Amino acid sequence: MGLFFVPKVQADPSKWVMSVQKADLSPFKHRNGYAPGGINVDLISRIADELGIELTFKDYTIAQGRKKFQTGELNVDCCLNKVWFPGQNDVHMFSDPIYRLIEVFVFPKGKMFPVSSTKELKDKRVAGIAGFTYPNQQDYGSRIDGNSPLEVLELLRDGKADVAVLERHAASFLMNHHKFKVEFGDPYYSVGVGVRLHRSEEHHLKKINKIIQEMKNNGFVASVIRRNIK
C-alpha cells in the first residue's frame, strides 16, 4: 500500500501594519494607556481576525503615516475615503464602505454663520486636521491645522480660527467630554469610509468586502460605533 502525503495548507503570509497616530483621534483611533482602541481599531481588528491575519499598530503622526503607507511600511488603514488621498490610486485601493462620516462646520458659540458654499469662506480662517485634504479647500481664506480633533477645537476656542471642519461623531464626543463652547453649523460633505489597502494586499479585497457586509448585517458595526461614542 503506497504512502499518501497530504500537502500542508500554507497560512496566508500577510501581516498588516496600521498607524494609530500619536495624536488622540478619539473616538476613531486612540491609545487608552493599555492598547489601541476606537471605532476604526475595533473594526479593522475584527476583519483581520476573520482573515487570520496578524495585525500590529505603530504610532506615527498623520504625515509620517501617509509617507510610510506609500512605501508599504504600513499596508492597511481604517476607515477612510479616497477623496482625502488625491493622485494615489497607484498606491492603494479601498473596500466597500463600512459606515458614513459627516463632516460639519463647527463655530464658537453664538458666532455661527451659514456656509452654503466654500466661496463664503474666502476671508475666513478655517481649522482642519493636518494631512487631510478637504473639498474646495482652495476657497478658504487661510487654513490652520491641528494634529487632532481636540487641537482643532482648541484653535476655535482660543480665537485662532473662525470656523472648524470636523467629523460629527468626533466633534460630539469631544464637546461632551471637554465642555467646549461651540456649536454645529451646516454639514460640509458626507462620505462612506472603508478599509484602505496597500496594493500589495489587493488579493484580500473580495474577502474583506464579504466580511464588511456580514458585520453590517449582524449589527456589529452599529454596536462598535455606539460603544465608542458614549
Is pLDDT of 190 > 70?
yes
User: Residue 175 falls within a domain, yes or no?
Assistant: yes
Is pLDDT of 176 > 90?
no
* pLDDT reported for residue 34: 67
Same-domain status, 92 and 203: yes
Has this prediction a pTM greater than 0.85?
no
CATH of the domain at 121: 3.40.190.10
User: Residue 224 falls within a domain, yes or no?
Assistant: yes
Same-domain status, 109 and 165: yes
Same-domain status, 156 and 181: yes
Same-domain status, 167 and 222: no
User: Residue 161 falls within a domain, yes or no?
Assistant: yes
Band (5; pLDDT cuts 50, 70, 90): very low
Same-domain status, 163 and 56: no
Is pLDDT of 12 > 50?
no
Same-domain status, 91 and 195: yes
Same-domain status, 138 and 208: no
CA-to-CA separations, 119 to 116, 157, 159, in angstroms, rounded? 8, 24, 22
User: Residue 9 falls within a domain, yes or no?
Assistant: no
User: Residue 3 falls within a domain, yes or no?
Assistant: no
Residue 30, domain extent: 15-99+191-228
Same-domain status, 115 and 183: yes
How many domains is the chain built from? 2
Mean pLDDT for 217-228 is 95
Quickly tell me which residue has 479616497 as its cell: 82
Same-domain status, 152 and 81: no
* pLDDT reported for residue 23: 67
Mean pLDDT for 57-78 is 91
User: Residue 139 falls within a domain, yes or no?
Assistant: yes
pLDDT digits (tens, 9 = 90+) for 115-160: 999 999 999 999 999 878 899 999 999 999 998 889 999 999 999 9
User: Residue 6 falls within a domain, yes or no?
Assistant: no
pLDDT digits (tens, 9 = 90+) for 73-84: 999 999 999 888
* pLDDT reported for residue 16: 97
Mean pLDDT of the chain: 89
C-alpha cell at 14: 500577510
Same-domain status, 95 and 31: yes
User: Residue 199 falls within a domain, yes or no?
Assistant: yes
Band (13; pLDDT cuts 50, 70, 90): low
Same-domain status, 113 and 159: yes
Same-domain status, 78 and 112: no
- What does the H/E/C string look like for the chain? CCCCCCCCCCCCCCEEEEECCCCCECCCEEECCCCEECHHHHHHHHHHHHHCCEEEEECCCHHHHHHHHHHCCCCEEEEECHHHCCCCCCCEEECCCCEEEEEEEEEECCCCCCCCCHHHHCCCEEEEECCCCCCCHHHCCEEEEECCHHHHHHHHHCCCCCEEEEEHHHHHHHHHHHCCCEEEEEEEEEEEEEEEEEHHHHHHHHHHHHHHHHHHHCCHHHHHHHHHCC
